[in-house]
Amino acid sequence: MVNKQIIDNYRELALSLGASDFAHSGDTVYIVVDRERLRGLAEALYWKKNCYFRTCAATDETKINGFLALYHIFGDDRNGLNIVVKTYTEPNNPVIPSISDIVPAADWCELEAYDLVGVEFSGRKLYRFMLPPTWPKGLYPLRKDTPYNYRPGLPVSGERISESPVSAVVPVGPYHPALHEPEYFELYVEGEKVVDVKYRGFHVHRGIEKLAETRMTYQQINFLAERICGICGFEHSVCYAQTVEKAAKIDVPERALFIRSIVLEVERIHSHLLWIGVAAHLLGYDTGFMHSWRIRELVMYLAELLTGSRKTYGINLIGGVRKDINEEKKKKILETLELVEKDFKKLVDTMLGVPELVKRLKGTGILPREEARKLSVVGPVARGSGLDRDIRRDLPYAAYSYAEFKVPVYDDGDNLSRLLVRVDEVLGSISIIRQLLDQLPRGEIMAEDIEIPEGRIATSSVEAPRGENVHFIITGRGKPYRWRIRAPTYQNIPALKIMLEGENLADAPLTIASIDPCFSCTDRIYVIRGGNRYRMILPRRY
């Protein structure tokens, strides 16, 4: 339970800065503030109170109260608090002051709100960000009067982000051997040094939020949430389910919470093993890649045994889980974990004994601590840059309060630190699974009557392998009125610019991979025709 003193401090702060409303429920504080006073409050929260920025969610509430609303979500991780700041604006002149100069982490989500809901931000440059450049002006997919299946019939054409006369441009993507997802980076180079990076993503924008708000029902969305990302999908579905459960105040049986935690950790192990393999491959150490994936295959088999599918597990529902863990499976888990732990330790030992590998990891792709804080980066990227944050410990969910674990933090901010964080986390996850299996309580795995009232607001976070997922929900009738997803990579990509600048071009693929980018999470939304002027870097495909 959150200390009352802390809540009072927030109340005082908010009211002194002109908030018009203040409420508190569970681990979330709600503040309503006028447009004019938003910037002052954001500055106080982000810099004085030292809160992290989670995300912002623009919502079309014209059907409820005639306004558009913008929710900025901050997180006070040390005290285990979410802070939701709400601002209203009129739909005919939807202008809200931008906070992206005070809170650099808010840059992307403001652009997204502009693109999808049509909220204008004063005091910053706005441009087409998420939707294709040819998308019709004035058509906002997330407004309630736009049908979810309206397809404007766009012309088929390509683009480059911008022209640069001085430096040579190395386009990376969208179909590039080093990326297994369609994303487009332009690296501007002088000689061998990268001087600037531009990014055009959102090739994987599939309209998930809109789909959930229109065609689907509460229980169906669990399966949609899982398909936000195929690698860390279970985190998304847990996050969705627990946000709805929080909003509707549903008591989930303890056994279900334990099973969720166990499967979450299984997913973390496979995801990190995957990443370590890919990193080894990018460094030209294919032996490491093959062995890492060989070990991972055991975990995949385990995941299938526990859930019924190798990925996109499909065992989550609001109110509990669909599949139980019996004694036989428990034994199998412990056996597999032992094998994985033994093999993994040996492999990492050997990998880190390769001098060339360590040399290329150490001191490359540096993200200093201050920059990391400024951009509110999450997950292993934050922990590799000395930020001690982990949602599993700070705002415990599922069954994490029953397990003891150490949050690994390294201060160097380079690629090696991020690798070491992930290595430690694999071992940590193995220990968490063992502890939870030991304490697995008896009982039901599904809550009985599930009733979800309308008009409730909730936000919650889950620590995915790549960092925290944030889901924000306003409940509606039979389906969410608004569902906003913030994936970890969304917060981490802006940090790439800092990591890549001044780097050698040869280190760029590894550095891009070092944030473990998961673009399908990020986009929920280019073959560039190379003229003679451009050189392509083509490392081998992994």
Q: Does 161 bind another protein (CB under 8 A)?
A: no
Figure out which of the listed residues 63, 215, 406, 477 binds another protein, where binding follows CB under 8 A: 215
Q: Least CB distance from residue 60 to another protein, whole Å?
A: 15
Q: Does 36 bind another protein (CB under 8 A)?
A: no
Site mask for another protein (CB under 8 A), range 223-262, x = bound:
xx--xxxxx-x-----------------------------
Q: Please identify which residue in the block is written with the tokens 């440059």.
A: 125
Question: Cβ(225)–Cβ(236) under 8 Å?
Answer: yes
Q: Does 37 bind another protein (CB under 8 A)?
A: no
Question: Cβ(130)–Cβ(139) under 8 Å?
Answer: no
Q: Does 349 bind another protein (CB under 8 A)?
A: yes
Alpha helices in 308-414 (DSSP H): 327-351, 355-361, 369-374, 379-384, 391-394
Q: Does 148 bind another protein (CB under 8 A)?
A: yes
Binding positions for another protein, 355-374, rule CB under 8 A: 355
Q: Please identify which residue in the block is written with the tokens 């991972």.
A: 296
Q: Give the Cα separation of 218 and 230 in Å (integer).
A: 20
Figure out which of the listed residues 35, 37, 160, 206 binds another protein, where binding follows CB under 8 A: 206
Q: Least CB distance from residue 457 to another protein, whole Å?
A: 25
Figure out which of the listed residues 305, 440, 450, 505 binds another protein, where binding follows CB under 8 A: 305
Q: Give the Cα separation of 106 and 44 in Å (integer).
A: 15
Q: Does 275 bind another protein (CB under 8 A)?
A: no
Beta bridge partners of 76: 81
Binding positions for another protein, 469-508, rule CB under 8 A: none
Q: Provide the 8-state DSSP code for 504.
A: B
Q: Does 203 bind another protein (CB under 8 A)?
A: yes
Q: Does 177 bind another protein (CB under 8 A)?
A: yes
Taking the least distance from each CB to another protein, the nearer of 54 and 203 is 203
Q: Does 347 bind another protein (CB under 8 A)?
A: yes
Q: Does 534 bind another protein (CB under 8 A)?
A: no
From the centroid of its chain, how far is CA 300? Answer: 22
Binding positions for another protein, 377-416, rule CB under 8 A: none
Report CA-CA distances (Å) from 429 to 405, 407, 433, 478. Answer: 8, 11, 6, 36
Figure out which of the listed residues 48, 156, 163, 165 binds another protein, where binding follows CB under 8 A: 156
Structural tokens at position 65: 């109260």
Binding positions for another protein, 123-142, rule CB under 8 A: 131-132, 141
Q: Does 150 bind another protein (CB under 8 A)?
A: yes
* Count of chain residues binding another protein (CB under 8 A): 84
Q: Give the Cα separation of 90 and 294 in Å (integer).
A: 56
Taking the least distance from each CB to another protein, the nearer of 22 and 135 is 135
Q: Give the Cα separation of 64 and 69 in Å (integer).
A: 11
Instruction: Please give the backbone phi and psi of residue 469, each rounded to the nearest 5 degrees, phi first.
Output: -90, 140
Output Rg (C-alpha) for the chain, integer angstroms. 23
Figure out which of the listed residues 62, 89, 167, 219 binds another protein, where binding follows CB under 8 A: 219
Report CA-CA distances (Å) from 204 to 74, 113, 159, 208, 270. Answer: 27, 17, 16, 10, 23
Q: Does 274 bind another protein (CB under 8 A)?
A: yes
